């Protein structure tokens, strides 16, 4: 279902979404035949990097955030910009919770722009923070 | 000045900042789009089978913003910042031309990773008509895992 610009208010919250990334997801995301960081599949390699286990790829997390926002905004929206800060590494097989809220809305150059702050929580602490810009349709 | 305080960035590294690499052709592949979509359970009808469209995060398979000749100063590396921009959705099978460059190289002393080097690179993707489709920028924090362990 489409979300319209008029229906969005600053302060609106996105429903939190739990997600547990696994090492299989990390490898399948890039394709099993494609070379990736060994720490994505191997907990020992992750530990050698100073991470507490197999590392969750940042690109997998940003893909997940993109999907999360697209799901909220609906099929007539365009996610036009994502700025992501990875504050600390996430370890595979540990639950993350995605959450977000609307921080701004404005009409600019004929576009209906909504800005969101999105966060990935690991044990309640932010591991990824993102600012996402979405262009929404209007009812008019 | 201790060994750890001495700059790891040379004039050769600095000369890479702002330099644009050779254009590189990339193709939006259906198998990548399908596989990535299925891994994260994305059921958005816009890029379902048969639509001819690919989800935005297929950008990760086009290079994700990493410059092919990214400077490597320290052996460990973690993605610490990322920016994606989209002008329109990707079409399955379309060929794009990517222009990459190094935007910044700087150092950081102390913190979890000890003496680290932050390298920011990016790639702009254009279609066959020369229209911008997407951009990806990333910052990789390079560090020496042995020194990082000492700082834990």
Which ipTM score applies to this complex?
Answer: 0.92
Task: Provide mean pLDDT across the span A4-22.
Answer: 97
Which pLDDT does position B63 carry in this prediction? 73
Predicted confidence band of residue A108 (pLDDT cuts 50, 70, 90):
very high
Task: Considering only the beta carbons, identify the residue of A28, A70, A86 that sits closest to B39.
Answer: A28
The minimum CA-CA distance between A80 and chain B, rounded to whole Å, is 5
Chain A interface test: which of B45, B59, B78 (most A C-beta within 10 Å): B78
Please, which residues have CB within 8 angstroms of residue A44's CB and are 6 or more apart in sequence?
none
Q: Provide the whole-model pTM.
A: 0.89
Lowest mean pLDDT among A112-121, B33-42, B64-73, B105-114: B64-73
H or E segment to which residue B145 belongs: helix B145-151
Average pLDDT over residues A44-70: 89
Note which residues in 51-70 of chain A have CB less than 8 A from chain B: 55, 57-60, 62-64, 66-67, 70
Q: Which residues of A57-79 are buried (b: 16+ CB within 10 A; e: fewer)?
A: bbbbbbbbbbbbbbebbbeebbb
Answer with the residue of higher pLDDT: B2 or B47: B47
∠ CA B25-B135-B74 to the nearest 5 degrees? 85
Helix/strand/coil for A58: helix
Residue pointed to by tokens 């929206």: A77
Determine, for residues A62 and B39 on separate chains, whether the beta-carbon distance falls below 8 Å.
no
* CA distances in angstroms from B8 to A5, A13, B71, B115, B149, listed in the order given: 49, 44, 12, 9, 19
Mean pLDDT (chain A, rounded) = 93
**Which helix (H) or strand (E) element contains residue A80?**
strand A78-86
Residue of B nearest to A80 (CA): B86
Residue A112 carries which DSSP code? E
Note whether A87 and A127 are within 8 A (CB): yes
> Which of A22, A45, A55, A58 is the best mutation test for B, with the most CBs of B within 10 A?
A58
A64, A78, A82 member nearest B40 (Cβ): A64
- Asked if the Cβ–Cβ distance from A59 to B42 is below 8 Å, we say no
Measured in angstroms, the CA of A62 and the nearest CA of chain B are apart by: 8
Question: Cβ–Cβ of B82/A84 closer than 8 Å?
Answer: yes
Map out the domains of chain A with their CATH numbers: 5-20+56-135 (3.10.129.10)
* Ordered domains of chain B (ranges, CATH): 3-27+63-151 (3.10.129)
């Amino acid at each position: 279902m489409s979300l319209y610009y008029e229906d969005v208010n600053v302060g609106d919250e996105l429903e939190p979404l739990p997600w547990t990334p696994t090492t299989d997801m990390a490898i399948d995301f890039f394709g099993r035949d494609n070379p990736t960081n060994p720490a994505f599949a191997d907990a020992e390699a992750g530990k050698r990097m100073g991470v507490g286990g197999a590392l969750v790829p940042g690109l997998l997390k940003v893909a997940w955030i993109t999907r999360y926002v697209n799901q909220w905004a609906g099929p007539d929206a365009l996610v036009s910009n994502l700025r992501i800060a990875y504050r600390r590494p996430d370890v595979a097989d540990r639950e993350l919770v995605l959450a977000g809220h609307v921080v701004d809305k404005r009409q600019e150059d004929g576009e209906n722009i909504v800005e969101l702050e999105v966060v990935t929580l690991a044990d309640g602490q932010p591991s990824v923070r993102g600012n996402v810009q979405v262009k929404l349709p209007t009812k008019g | 000045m201790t060994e750890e305080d001495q700059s790891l960035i040379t004039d050769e590294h600095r000369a890479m900042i702002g330099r644009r690499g050779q254009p590189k052709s990339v193709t939006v592949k259906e198998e990548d789009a399908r596989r990535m979509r299925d891994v994260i359970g994305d059921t958005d009808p816009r890029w379902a089978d048969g639509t001819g469209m690919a989800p935005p995060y297929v950008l990760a398979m086009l290079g994700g913003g990493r410059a092919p000749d990214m400077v490597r100063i320290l052996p460990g590396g973690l993605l610490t910042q990322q920016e994606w921009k989209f002008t329109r959705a990707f079409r399955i099978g379309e060929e794009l031309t990517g222009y990459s460059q190094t935007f910044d190289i700087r150092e950081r002393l102390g913190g979890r990773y000890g003496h680290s080097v932050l390298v920011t690179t990016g790639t702009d993707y254009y279609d066959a008509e020369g229209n911008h489709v997407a951009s990806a920028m990333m910052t990789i924090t390079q560090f020496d895992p042995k020194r990082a362990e000492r700082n834990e």
